[in-house]
A and B are shown apart, each in its own frame.
Chain A
Amino acid sequence: MTNVFNLTWLIPIPPLLAFFAIILFTNPHKRLSSNLAIGAVALSWVMSWLVAFAYFGNWHVLVEEPFALSLPWLPTGTGVFRMGVAVDAVTAVMLFMVGFVLTMIFIYSHGYMTFPGYLDPALNTDGLDPRYSRFFAYISLFATGMLGLVVADNLLMLFVFWEIMGLCSYLLIGFWFDKTYPDPNQITPKQAGLKAFLTTRIGDVLLMIGLLLLFIMTGELNFQAIFKPEVLEHLAESHLAIPFLGAFSAAVVIAIFIFWGAIGKSAQFPLHVWLPDAMEGPTPVSALIHAATMVSAGVYLIIRMQPLFAAAHHGENGAMLFVAFIGAFTALFAATIALAQNDIKKVLAYSTVSQLGYMFAALGIGAWVAATFHLIMHAFFKALLFLGSGSVIHGVEHGHHHAQHGHGEHGHGHHDEHHEAYFDPQDMRNMGGLLRRMPATGWTFIIGAAALSGFPLVTAGFWSKDEILADAWYTGHTLVFWTLAAAALLTAFYSFRQVFMTFFGKPRTEAAAHAVESTRSMTVPLMILAVFAIAAGWVGIPEWFPGVGAILGNPLGTMLGAQAEAYHLHHKPLPPQSVPLLVSIVVSLGGIFLAWLVYGRKPLEAGQPDPLERWLGPIYTVLRHKYYFDELYGSLPNVRPALILRFALWLTAVLRAFDTYVIDGIVNAVGNFGRRFARALRLFFDELFVDGAVNGTGFVAQVAGSVLRLVQTGQVQFYLLIVLLGVLAFLAFVQLGL
């Protein structure tokens, strides 16, 4: 068995080799590059699953003594820092998910990265994106980052891979860096990439501080070494003085610093602003990096460091509470924002923020197993949803081109790009009735939405979400419980709003009417992921659950529970509870029902001048004003929806405005302040005073220099001669003078 585990360190290597091979050699050959990348990641996938299943088969033995392999890597004064890989239950579960999702998304990208619609069609030579190879190089490097992060045995190595992923995220968000929009207020890909990198950089720097403090306090960064009870106790009982705030338990301080890294990476309040804009990247990137893997790395970090947080918990109760608060708040906050989005990807983006908040809330209340479970399940169905949305966008874009082309032939005989109205293929108002045009995409998307909504009993999302709620209820965190329940209701509502708007009713545009189903390399990954979005959850059904529970035996929960015990996390299997179970069923079905009531009850009619407004009235009037950025100044349109919806919309409008102006505004203001401050420093200080003083000195010297200028002939040989003579004179002087 150990032989298989020796593969662990090799897992991140193939995509790294693919990255270098593509940028150095295969770059001009597009399909060769993508095949190379897919082959490499598939190899990593196979190795991941070999290791993961080897673990699953032997977890009883390995849970106490994880597999570890390390090499001395850095000298640290008199000591040595070792780098290496380790496999515990969390790593095994993550490897299972990451290797698989990576491969699915790589294959999907093979079909997705066709010639982008925003470029001049004259440049289209082979139907593929002009920077197709570059795309596969970037996602290969990303795969290395994610796989390396998962197998890392210490926090420093984790941090290195964490940052490499951040780089790839930056590169891929800004992949279409030359794309612009007619609306100057709409963020462009290059701006979104910068925003993402800088926002997460703030979190990363705080994480690095936490890491350094941990290193200083314990002399170790290896997970197993830190999690020794005596080390944790030492951390909980030592105190660190924070300037102006006083002394705190070192464990709490370090845990909170580390958590800030997760806040940035997983886009939690108040650093969540980058993630919705990150949707400017190609859709496979949104699925891969900004839903399934990189953003969940923040959750993974806290799962990984949970023993430290638990130690902090016993000390002063601060860090866990902070995590629970941020998580629960973000879960609800982002879910409300998602209601008001019309961009198919932005809905999913806010949904991701919200679901990650769910996981943090779970970790904050000590529901370690549930959080891990939800992380994996969420990766499956959210990757599915994003890829589905990408397929939809592709289909609609194709439909749009088809419609345009048709008009061109029958109409003026040519078409001029500049005279076309700007068409947004991601706007759900331009869709409708796509289920008939794109059945594979449609049904898999519905499965994904059901899983995200936590559709009872069948879907993966139900079981993982239910377990978090059950934990919150059982441990008496009532506020967290109800906050998360509310977030779950909103989640079900916005998911099915999306489903009804996109796939049901009649096509609302020519583009939607002419949409075509995507190629098989895109739909097959969707289908495979759809199976996982349902069946994967069965491994975590509580054992007490009537019927299936006893048959399946909750293998995931049992294994992770044993791992939790090994880490002294005080994990206890939950007893049967009816309240949380009923609540999760009610909020899920209730949310879906509400969505049906509002968006699905009467199918939208085609061909009407303004069908959405007529059928759905006030909601979309409000949203339309948002599209024109009018409502941002607080003028709610004169409409009369149901009171609760009106309140919800008002809240959404407020929160979205808060999001755009206050939170985004602070980020922008800090940026602007930085720029202005820097400019001011340059103008008023650096050039005026510091330079001025230097020039003052220089003036005196200039006067002297003007005399010396007589010897400046401009002949270098002459100068060298002077230097030589000078040195000789100096030597002669010291020789003779003494």
Chain B
Amino acid sequence: MTFLDTWVLTLITFTPLIGSIVVMLIPATNTALIKRFSVIWSLIPLVLSIWLAADYWLKFLARGQAVMAYELKAAWIPALGVNYHVGADGFSVPLIFLTALLTTLGLYYSARTIHHRVKEFFALFLFLATGMFGVFVALDLVLFYVFWEIGLVPMYFMIGIWGQEKDRPQYSAIKFFLYTLAGSVFMLLAIIGVYLDKGTFDILIAAQNGGGWTTAPVAAALSFWAFFVAFAIKVPSFPFHTWLPDAHTAAPTAGSVILAGILLKLGAYGFLRILLPLFPGPAAQYGLIIAVLGVIGIVYGAFVSLAQTDLKRLIAYSSVSHMGYVMLGIGAAAWALNQTKTPELINSAAMALNGASLQMFMHGIITGALFFLVGVIYERAHTRDLEKFGGLSALTPAFYATMMFAGFASLGLPGLAGFWAEFFTFRGAFAIVPVLALIGVIGVVITAAYILYRVIQNVFLGKYDPSRIVHWTTVGGHHSDGPTDMELFEKVTLWPLVALMILLGIFPTLVLVYFNAASVNLLNNLF
């Protein structure tokens, strides 16, 4: 056991918090230092998360093992049996990397685009990272809850303070806060429910005996649903999704990226880390409902996206649709628990879970990039009204190319990252819940329609008409005669994401190998 084996997760989680405190100590006027420090500081968890991924692969995956590793357990509130217990497995390792990557990119992008209350912004952003990392590493329900709440607060302020006045930031922020807080209340109740039955807050211990519940099945079902509501709001699942478009519209660019890229995944991660392992009985019983909500989300979200005229709202709704795949995959895998265990069924369920978890990762990259791209155009045109753009393809080729990659990845074009998530989700879902999968497929066609018809055609194709947007500026806010192409810092922000889309589109196994090991492991424990 080396030093890092024990401490790496703790280091990843708390370095941003330290950074946040340091930022608060820097004088607010020294914005350059604050920005530079934040970006460089955020490289520490990024490097550690890359080490973590490589190390996990070398030590475990390459040897065919899928274990919970890097565990650290220390008493925190002994009276309650609450421990500081962290660990990582195949589900969390890629998501930790994704969090670190998007945090660094978000900070870097914000360093050039945030000019107002800089100190607070960067402090909150780093603080937020701690909350997100914490959720992905927590193996104790109370710890999980605390980190979950930490993720909520900074985002509330980001939307409220740095939102554009015309997007009703106060309204959106309060909506976001209330919605998620309501979910948290349910989660707290559910955690107490688990404790009353199992006498522990430890996720691993609680899951050990196949999640068998000693008290009345009603208690198990109630706790299940309480957790479900908390996670479903965060995902967000239909019909709990309307906070998302408002929150996204109002949030600053980097906030939207983190919101879509990571915060939504916290809900989906909760399904994988808590709901399935701790509640195999209710999950099998109600799995179909999860899958049905997923399919509704896919189709409904896609249709509503198609009707949007605000670019950012459109992408927000597309997140509702895409997170539906996650729900569909998880629901299908849960529903499979009702059937007799065969190798084929295990594989189908594993592929459904693979699809769901791949979608979490891929959606983080793709929608993260899409929100950055919205930022690129918004900084110049100061509008997101799709009807006002047109013909930018010829004028801003780099922006166009980047948007094409992200857009086609989003609509699931094979060869780019998004496809594999859809493919595995449907592979699992068709084997387990074929009728739902058949309905979900409609979403694939509609997605193509809104990406191509709404986004690509409206923004990039046709003739450029200078009279529609009179006031173009550069990113720095200086007047310009027309749209300017992406600047270097925007390319530096976006091209790593595009590279990942292509790389993972060709060879998704780079992340799939983590998820697959974890999925098979989880299913073997559940069946």
- Provide the B417-436 mask, 1 if CB < 8 A to any CB of A, else 0: 00110010011001100010
B77 pairs with A178, CB closer than 8 A: no
B239 an interface residue at 8 Å Cβ cutoff?
Answer: yes
Kindly state the separation between the CA atoms of A205 and B441 in the bound complex, as whole angstroms: 7
Kindly state the separation between the CA atoms of A194 and B520 in the bound complex, as whole angstroms: 40
A716 pairs with B452, CB closer than 8 A: no
Please report whether the interface of chain A is mostly helix, strand, loop or mixed according to DSSP: helix
Within 8 Å by CB of B306, from A164, A675, A719, A723, lies A675
A674 an interface residue at 8 Å Cβ cutoff?
Answer: yes
A716 pairs with B512, CB closer than 8 A: no
Q: Which of A167, A678, A723 has the most CB of B within 10 A?
A: A678
A378 an interface residue at 8 Å Cβ cutoff?
Answer: no
A716 pairs with B157, CB closer than 8 A: yes
| With A77-B516, A731-B77 as contacts: A197 and B448 at CB distance below 8 Å | yes
- Provide the B362-402 mask, 1 if CB < 8 A to any CB of A, else 0: 00000000000000000000000000000101100100010
| Chain B residues closer than 8 Å to A705, beta-carbon distance | 174
The closest CB in chain A to the CB of B306 belongs to: A678
| With A74-B509, A194-B457 as contacts: A164 and B426 at CB distance below 8 Å | no
B304 pairs with A681, CB closer than 8 A: yes
B303 an interface residue at 8 Å Cβ cutoff?
Answer: yes
| Interface-side segment among B132-140, B272-280, B346-354 | B346-354
Kindly state the separation between the CA atoms of A213 and B157 in the bound complex, as whole angstroms: 48
A77 pairs with B348, CB closer than 8 A: yes
Kindly state the separation between the CA atoms of A521 and B349 in the bound complex, as whole angstroms: 56
Kindly state the separation between the CA atoms of A705 and B516 in the bound complex, as whole angstroms: 45
Q: Which of A180, A198, A720, A734 has the most CB of B within 10 A?
A: A720
A738 pairs with B80, CB closer than 8 A: yes
The closest CB in chain A to the CB of B404 belongs to: A171
| Chain A residues closer than 8 Å to B427, beta-carbon distance | 76, 212, 215-216
A209 pairs with B438, CB closer than 8 A: yes
A164 pairs with B413, CB closer than 8 A: yes
B193 an interface residue at 8 Å Cβ cutoff?
Answer: no
Kindly state the separation between the CA atoms of A40 and B202 in the bound complex, as whole angstroms: 59
The closest CB in chain A to the CB of B179 belongs to: A694
Kindly state the separation between the CA atoms of A216 and B305 in the bound complex, as whole angstroms: 32
Kindly state the separation between the CA atoms of A68 and B239 in the bound complex, as whole angstroms: 50
A719 pairs with B153, CB closer than 8 A: yes
The closest CB in chain B to the CB of A190 belongs to: B461
| Interface-side segment among B67-75, B107-115, B116-124, B248-256 | B116-124
The closest CB in chain A to the CB of B178 belongs to: A701
Within 8 Å by CB of A177, from B79, B161, B461, lies B461
Min CB distance, B481 to chain A, in Å? 17
Name the interface residues of A60-114: CB closer than 8 Å to any CB of B: 73-79
A609 an interface residue at 8 Å Cβ cutoff?
Answer: no
A734 pairs with B77, CB closer than 8 A: yes
Kindly state the separation between the CA atoms of A78 and B438 in the bound complex, as whole angstroms: 25
Q: Which of B174, B304, B308 has the most CB of A within 10 A?
A: B304
A677 pairs with B401, CB closer than 8 A: no
| Chain A residues closer than 8 Å to B463, beta-carbon distance | 178, 180
A735 an interface residue at 8 Å Cβ cutoff?
Answer: yes
| With A177-B393, A209-B430, A678-B304 as contacts: A77 and B153 at CB distance below 8 Å | no
| Chain B residues closer than 8 Å to A198, beta-carbon distance | 445, 448-449, 452-453
Name the interface residues of B1-37: CB closer than 8 Å to any CB of A: 24
A694 pairs with B175, CB closer than 8 A: yes
Kindly state the separation between the CA atoms of A174 and B306 in the bound complex, as whole angstroms: 21
| Chain A residues closer than 8 Å to B461, beta-carbon distance | 174, 177-178, 190
| Chain B residues closer than 8 Å to A194, beta-carbon distance | 452-453, 457
B503 an interface residue at 8 Å Cβ cutoff?
Answer: no
Min CB distance, A166 to chain B, in Å? 8
Name the interface residues of A483-519: CB closer than 8 Å to any CB of B: none
The closest CB in chain B to the CB of A217 belongs to: B431
The closest CB in chain B to the CB of A736 belongs to: B79
Min CB distance, B319 to chain A, in Å? 14
A691 an interface residue at 8 Å Cβ cutoff?
Answer: yes
| Chain B residues closer than 8 Å to A74, beta-carbon distance | 420, 508-509, 512
A697 an interface residue at 8 Å Cβ cutoff?
Answer: yes
Kindly state the separation between the CA atoms of A219 and B124 in the bound complex, as whole angstroms: 49
B221 an interface residue at 8 Å Cβ cutoff?
Answer: no
| With A694-B243, A716-B124 as contacts: A677 and B157 at CB distance below 8 Å | no
- Provide the A433-456 mask, 1 if CB < 8 A to any CB of B, else 0: 000000000000000000000000
| Chain A residues closer than 8 Å to B431, beta-carbon distance | 216
The closest CB in chain B to the CB of A676 belongs to: B307
Interface residues on B, range: 35 or more
Interface residues on A, range: 35 or more
Name the interface residues of B193-237: CB closer than 8 Å to any CB of A: none
Min CB distance, A438 to chain B, in Å? 32
A690 pairs with B242, CB closer than 8 A: yes
| Chain A residues closer than 8 Å to B482, beta-carbon distance | none
B507 an interface residue at 8 Å Cβ cutoff?
Answer: yes
The closest CB in chain A to the CB of B243 belongs to: A694
- Provide the B497-527 mask, 1 if CB < 8 A to any CB of A, else 0: 0000000000111001100110110000000
- Provide the A712-738 mask, 1 if CB < 8 A to any CB of B, else 0: 001011011001000100010011001
Min CB distance, B492 to chain A, in Å? 15
Min CB distance, A157 to chain B, in Å? 9
Kindly state the separation between the CA atoms of A731 and B239 in the bound complex, as whole angstroms: 34
Q: Which of A77, A78, A213, A671 has the most CB of B within 10 A?
A: A77
Q: Which of B350, B408, B423 has the most CB of A within 10 A?
A: B423
A79 pairs with B347, CB closer than 8 A: yes
Within 8 Å by CB of A686, from B242, B306, B343, B430, lies B242
| Chain A residues closer than 8 Å to B445, beta-carbon distance | 198, 201-202, 205
B415 pairs with A160, CB closer than 8 A: yes
A723 pairs with B509, CB closer than 8 A: no
The closest CB in chain B to the CB of A145 belongs to: B415
Name the interface residues of B323-367: CB closer than 8 Å to any CB of A: 343-344, 346-351, 354
B462 an interface residue at 8 Å Cβ cutoff?
Answer: yes
B300 an interface residue at 8 Å Cβ cutoff?
Answer: yes
Min CB distance, A452 to chain B, in Å? 33
B190 an interface residue at 8 Å Cβ cutoff?
Answer: no
B242 pairs with A691, CB closer than 8 A: yes
| Chain B residues closer than 8 Å to A76, beta-carbon distance | 347, 350-351, 354, 427, 516
A190 pairs with B457, CB closer than 8 A: yes
B52 an interface residue at 8 Å Cβ cutoff?
Answer: no
A159 an interface residue at 8 Å Cβ cutoff?
Answer: yes
Within 8 Å by CB of A23, from B343, B401, B512, B513, lies B401
| Chain B residues closer than 8 Å to A177, beta-carbon distance | 391, 393, 460-462
Q: Which of A160, A697, A727 has the most CB of B within 10 A?
A: A160
A216 pairs with B304, CB closer than 8 A: no
B77 pairs with A170, CB closer than 8 A: no
Kindly state the separation between the CA atoms of A349 and B24 in the bound complex, as whole angstroms: 67
A602 an interface residue at 8 Å Cβ cutoff?
Answer: no
| Chain B residues closer than 8 Å to A411, beta-carbon distance | none
Min CB distance, A191 to chain B, in Å? 8
Kindly state the separation between the CA atoms of A159 and B419 in the bound complex, as whole angstroms: 11
Q: A694-B242, A716-B124 are in contact. List 19 more A-B contacts (CB 8 A).
A: A74-B512, A77-B350, A77-B354, A190-B457, A194-B457, A197-B452, A198-B452, A209-B430, A674-B306, A674-B446, A678-B304, A681-B300, A681-B303, A698-B174, A705-B174, A717-B24, A735-B77, A735-B79, A738-B79
Can you list 21 A-B pairs, Cβ within 8 angstroms, ordered by A? Answer: A77-B354, A77-B519, A163-B413, A163-B419, A167-B413, A170-B452, A201-B444, A201-B448, A205-B441, A208-B426, A208-B441, A208-B444, A209-B430, A212-B430, A216-B430, A674-B449, A678-B304, A678-B307, A681-B303, A690-B241, A698-B178
The 6 closest A-B pairs by CB, nearest first: A77-B347, A77-B350, A160-B414, A678-B307, A177-B461, A716-B120
A residues with CB within 8 A of B:
23, 27, 73-79, 130-131, 134, 156, 159-164, 167, 170, 174, 177-178, 180, 190, 194, 197-198, 201-202, 205, 208-209, 212-213, 215-216, 219, 243, 671, 674-675, 677-679, 681-682, 686, 690-691, 694, 697-698, 701-702, 705, 714, 716-717, 719-720, 723, 727, 731, 734-735, 738
